[in-house]
């Protein structure tokens, strides 16, 4: 069984994890209601997609 001869330093260990950070979502404004939404997806606020209403959104409350 392979066993490391030396302890892995914190810099080497943490350097491997340098790419594990979360990225913020790329939000765009809805052309119909200007609410933030993910690109290429139906707007959750108004149900608008590709120039027409794709989903009827019910108001909560």
- Residue 58 structural domain: 24-61
Angle at 28 between CA 27 and CA 29, to 5 degrees: 130
Under the banding of pLDDT at 50, 70 and 90, the label for residue 58 is confident
Q: Is the pLDDT of residue 60 over 90?
A: no
Residue 51 lies in a domain: yes
| Average pLDDT value over all residues in the chain | 91
pLDDT (mean) for 34-56: 90
Q: How many domains does the chain have?
A: 1
pLDDT above 70 coverage of the chain, percent: 97
Reading the block at residue 28, the tokens are: 């765009």
Residue 44 lies in a domain: yes
Q: What would the DSSP string read from start to end of 1-61?
A: ----SSPPPHHHHHHHGGG--------EE-TTT--EE-TTS--TTT-EETTEE-SPPPPP-
Residue 38 lies in a domain: yes
Under the banding of pLDDT at 50, 70 and 90, the label for residue 56 is confident
């Amino acid at each position: 069984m392979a066993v490391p001869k030396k302890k892995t330093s914190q810099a080497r260990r943490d350097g491997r994890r340098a790419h594990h950070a979360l990225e913020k979502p790329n939000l765009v404004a809805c052309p119909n209601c200007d609410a933030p939404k993910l690109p290429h997806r139906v707007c959750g606020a108004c149900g608008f997609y590709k120039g027409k209403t794709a989903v009827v959104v019910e108001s909560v409350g």
